[in-house]
A = this chain, B = another copy of it.
């Protein structure tokens, strides 16, 4: 089907995250080269520092968060565009408040693995 509303698509919990769900908007069975997903993080939720084997191209839809990419810490909000190269450690922490942090994340159709980064004690 060519058109559907994101709210009608299933969401799965992201096990490595906290209060974080992911929806596949356009998956590999439809798009031959890359997949479009939507992440929804509850206020105060997020993902710990990790790497992926594929790059992320992201667009923030709603809410705000602290995002670490490599050595830099950014505060992002709706309309921000975020590029995370493959292999670069990154994390997310959604701001506290009433609004979830939502963003589009596009990845190539290639095998990926998430590796958590040990931050010591």
Oligomeric state, in number of copies?
Answer: 2
Tell me how far the C-beta of A11 lies from the nearest C-beta in chain B, rounded to whole angstroms: 14
A94 at the B interface (CB under 8 A): no
Given A34-B106, A36-B106, A104-B104, does the pair A3, B57 have CB atoms closer than 8 Å? no
Chain B contacts of A83 at CB under 8 A?
A: 2-3, 26, 30-31
CA distance A4 to B4 in the complex (A): 29
Q: Which residue of B lies closest to A23 (CB)?
A: B81
Q: A-side binding surface: helix, strand, loop or mixed?
A: strand
- Cβ-neighbour of A82 out of B2, B32, B57, B72 (below 8 A): B2
CA distance A30 to B82 in the complex (A): 11
A104, B59: Cβ atoms closer than 8 Å: yes
